[in-house]
Structure 1
Amino acid sequence: MKIAFLYEHPTWSDTLIAAFDHRGVALTLRNIAELSFDADATDKPFDAAINRINVMPSAEREPQIVFQTLHYLNWLELAGVRVINGARAHFIGASKAMQNGIFSALGMAHPRAVAIYRPADALAVADSIGYPVIIKPNIGGSGSGIARYNTRAELAETIRFGALDLGVDRSGLVQQYIESDGYVYRVEVLGDQLFYSIRQPINERIFNYCAADRCVTASPSENGDDTFNFCVHGRDRIEAFSPSESIVAEVIKIVRHCGADLGGVEYLIDPNTDAPCFYDFNPYSNFVSNGEALLGFSPENRYIDFILESLGTAQDAMPIGLTKLVD
């Protein structure tokens, strides 16, 4: 079986790719930052593809890649390629508006939000929702472009100076600000099984709670224990926790409804109800840095086990090595 591995971040997938190699699983590596494809091809280029592409824009890549990726995933599926986390999951992962629609369709608590594309509309919408509000790009990630506005005057001034960031496609959400118990919770699943779950203390000054981003630092630990030197120290430390069965079941419903094979869901706990308030779906696994130390198992190997089972591929039948596709 010819399996493509679609990725884009220069370091996020290195450990996972090495783990595939160690397990003797051959992959055709396809860096989305270098993507071009023969749109007239009649034969499918791979039997299967693993989508590990993060849709968020960044300073390191051109925003057009976001849309090129969506075209490519749809094209692969039209060509008959089995895509792990295919075009539907990828699109919903790219759209904060779609995610709110998913949570609403499933009857799950979520922040009220209104999608806009004209910055001038934000003021009237925020007035109707009530302050404080969060305004975020519809396509984003790692906290990019998100801002909190506590008063009408703050938002009006931002709009007046043309400083409201609605992201690469110039669309965004005006969203209700949700009080919390002080943590951001993330639960990841592989199919219908819990993968791992982590939480991070909320920092009012930031909106980036990406486990991969925030778990890479040279900061020493406070107590001299170097086990987690890779991890953010102090109140920002990422920690594992055990979610309730009901929350895991809700996360599985969300991931299935999004058409994803696997994924992560983030939520807050509303202190007024002690219930989860869902706000984000990610159609890929971030992997916590040095996850074996934090979680007690190798997330890479558990991920690979799931992929091989999903593709119906016998481990002992896989050839050893990696190949890189040259267009």
Structure 2
Amino acid sequence: MSGKVYVIHENPQWIPPFAAAFEAEGVPFEEWLLTDGSIDLAVEPPDGVFWSRLSASAHTRDHAHSKEFGRAVLRWLASWGRTVINGADVLELEVSKVAQHAALRHAGIEVPRTLAVFGTDDLAASAARFGAPFISKHNQGGKGLGVRRWDSVEAFAEWITSPDYEPSPDGITLLQELLVGRDSSITRAEFVAGDFVYAVRVDTSTGSFELCPAEACAIPGADGVEPEPLFRLRDDVDPALLDRYLAFLAAEGVGIAGIEFIETRDGRTVTYDVNTNTNYNPDVEASAPRSGPREIARWLGSLLPREVETLRG
């Protein structure tokens, strides 16, 4: 097999929009479901371009080891000189909000005040030092799961000793300042191949932190009917901010990502999440001037001739 895009992932529910895009662009592709299997380290990988869509939320689908499988596979591919989009170093960004925070801060992008707490013994005391109100979140998160708002340290201290406590999968809990938006929204900016595709305004008026845009993540209303779309195109994002994001992604070797930020009531623009296995909302895609999945398929397809020619000498 040669001249093919390999999509490395662990969640088949997120693949259909990308499969449709590859088909529409005439780009041959194959899914690599990384939930089990093996690799022979002495055997050369197949010809092609490899795109990692491994997710920080894999543990919520009983695929907790997929990130470890990914670390092995992506290093193996790189050792053979294969073209890997969102490779091993990018996977570390995906599965660690501490890594994201450090990289964004280093790039001069404003991030929220954050305390990383290792284990649980010091959680209550750390929260007391940090001060309420605040939010707690998992260092290895995804889809907004594990994010909670706390208006008192006492309520947090009671929760972490209760049966309802949800430990972070990697044992690192983040305490983060509560950011109050100037309106009930956050913004997610989408990037492919060093290019800004579009921005999405996400309605947060319900108070939920679960803001996954994919159709597979949609939460039905109480009567089983889909709620009104929470995701809408936004066309007034500061170009200077987009330029900073593009420089950040280039420096970190990220080919495909969605970056989330909030514009606060006190005039700050704070960036708090980098999604390197980004999904796209179907309502937004239907009205967007460009399609995120189609841009990805077109770009990865354009890499195939160079990759095959290089490998075959």
TM bucket by the smaller chain? 0.7 to 0.9
Q: What does 1:164-243 align with in structure 2 at a 5 Å threshold?
A: 164-181=165-182, 182-203=184-205, 205-213=207-215, 216=218, 232-233=227-228, 237-242=230-235, 243=237
Structure 2 partner of 1:57: 58
Q: 2:27·2:301 contact (CA, 8 Å) conserved in 1? A: no
- Taking structure 1 as reference, are residues 278 and 151 closer, same or farther at Cα in structure 2, changes over 3 Å only? same
- Taking structure 1 as reference, are residues 68 and 190 closer, same or farther at Cα in structure 2, changes over 3 Å only? same
CA distance in 1, matches of 2:206, 2:118: 26
Q: 2:57·2:141 contact (CA, 8 Å) conserved in 1? A: yes
CA distance in 2, matches of 1:215, 1:36: 27
- In the alignment, structure 2 segments of 5+ residues that lack a partner are none
2:305 corresponds, among 292, 295, 313, to: 313
- In the alignment, structure 1 segments of 5+ residues that lack a partner are 220-229, 318-327
Q: CA deviation at 1:312?
A: 5.5
Q: 2:213·2:281 contact (CA, 8 Å) conserved in 1? A: yes
CA distance in 2, matches of 1:196, 1:215: 20
Q: What does 1:12-161 align with in structure 2 at a 5 Å threshold?
A: 12-33=14-35, 35-161=36-162
Q: CA deviation at 1:151?
A: 0.5
1:259 corresponds, among 253, 264, 270, to: 253
- Taking structure 1 as reference, are residues 254 and 162 closer, same or farther at Cα in structure 2, changes over 3 Å only? farther
Which aligned segments of 4 or more residues in structure 1 are displaced greater than 6 angstroms? none
Q: TM-score, normalised by structure 2?
A: 0.87
Q: CA deviation at 1:249?
A: 0.9
Q: CA deviation at 1:91?
A: 1.1
Structure 1 partner of 2:242: 248
Q: Percent identity?
A: 22
CA distance in 1, matches of 2:294, 2:166: 39
CA distance in 2, matches of 1:46, 1:90: 22
**Alignment length, in residue pairs?**
300
CA distance in 1, matches of 2:282, 2:11: 15
CA distance in 1, matches of 2:60, 2:94: 20
- Write the deviation string for residues 229-259 of structure 1: whole angstroms up to 9, x where unpaired: x9741xx621100112112112212322332
CA distance in 2, matches of 1:214, 1:237: 14
SS in 1 for 2:261: strand
Q: CA deviation at 1:214?
A: 7.9
CA distance in 1, matches of 2:48, 2:271: 35
Greater Cα offset, 86-95 or 23-32? 23-32
- Taking structure 1 as reference, are residues 135 and 3 closer, same or farther at Cα in structure 2, changes over 3 Å only? same
CA distance in 2, matches of 1:240, 1:265: 15
AA of the residue aligned to 1:212: A
- Write the deviation string for residues 86-119 of structure 1: whole angstroms up to 9, x where unpaired: 1111111110111110121122211111212222
Q: TM-score, normalised by structure 1?
A: 0.83
- Taking structure 1 as reference, are residues 213 and 126 closer, same or farther at Cα in structure 2, changes over 3 Å only? farther
Structure 2 partner of 1:303: 296
2:275 corresponds, among 282, 288, 298, to: 282
Q: 1:100·1:279 contact (CA, 8 Å) conserved in 2? A: yes
Q: 1:109·1:276 contact (CA, 8 Å) conserved in 2? A: yes
Superposed CA RMSD: 2.4
